[in-house]
Chains A and B, each alone.
Chain A
Amino acid sequence: DAGVTQSPTHLIKTRGQQVTLRCSPKSGHDTVSWYQQALGQGPQFIFQYYEEEERQRGNFPDRFSGHQFPNYSSELNVNALLLGDSALYLCASSPGRTYYGYTFGSGTRLTVV
Chain B
Amino acid sequence: AQKVTQAQTEISVVEKEDVTLDCVYETRDTTYYLFWYKQPPSGELVFLIRRNSFDEQNEISGRYSWNFQKSTSSFNFTITASQVVDSAVYFCALSEAEQAGTALIFGKGTTLSVSS
A residues near B, CB below 8 A?
A: 3-4, 31, 33, 35, 40-45, 48, 50, 55-56, 58, 88, 90, 92, 94, 96-107, 109
Contacts and interface: CB of A to CB of B under 8 A. Distances in A.
Contacts of A35: 104
Interface of B: 4, 33, 35, 37, 42-47, 50, 52, 91, 93, 95, 97, 99-109
Given A42-B107, A42-B109, A43-B106, A99 B45 contact: no
A65 B109 CA distance: 27
Contacts, number: 71
16 contacts: A33-B101, A35-B104, A42-B93, A44-B106, A45-B104, A48-B101, A48-B103, A90-B45, A94-B101, A96-B101, A97-B101, A101-B35, A102-B104, A104-B46, A104-B47, A109-B43
B101 A43 contact: no
Contact of A104 (B45, B95, B108): B45
B102 A101 contact: no
Contacts of A99: 33, 50, 52, 95, 97, 100-101
A58 B103 contact: yes
B47 A102 contact: yes
B99 A106 contact: no
B103 A33 contact: yes
A89 to B, nearest CB: 10
A50 B101 contact: yes
B105 A98 contact: no
A70 to B, nearest CB: 19
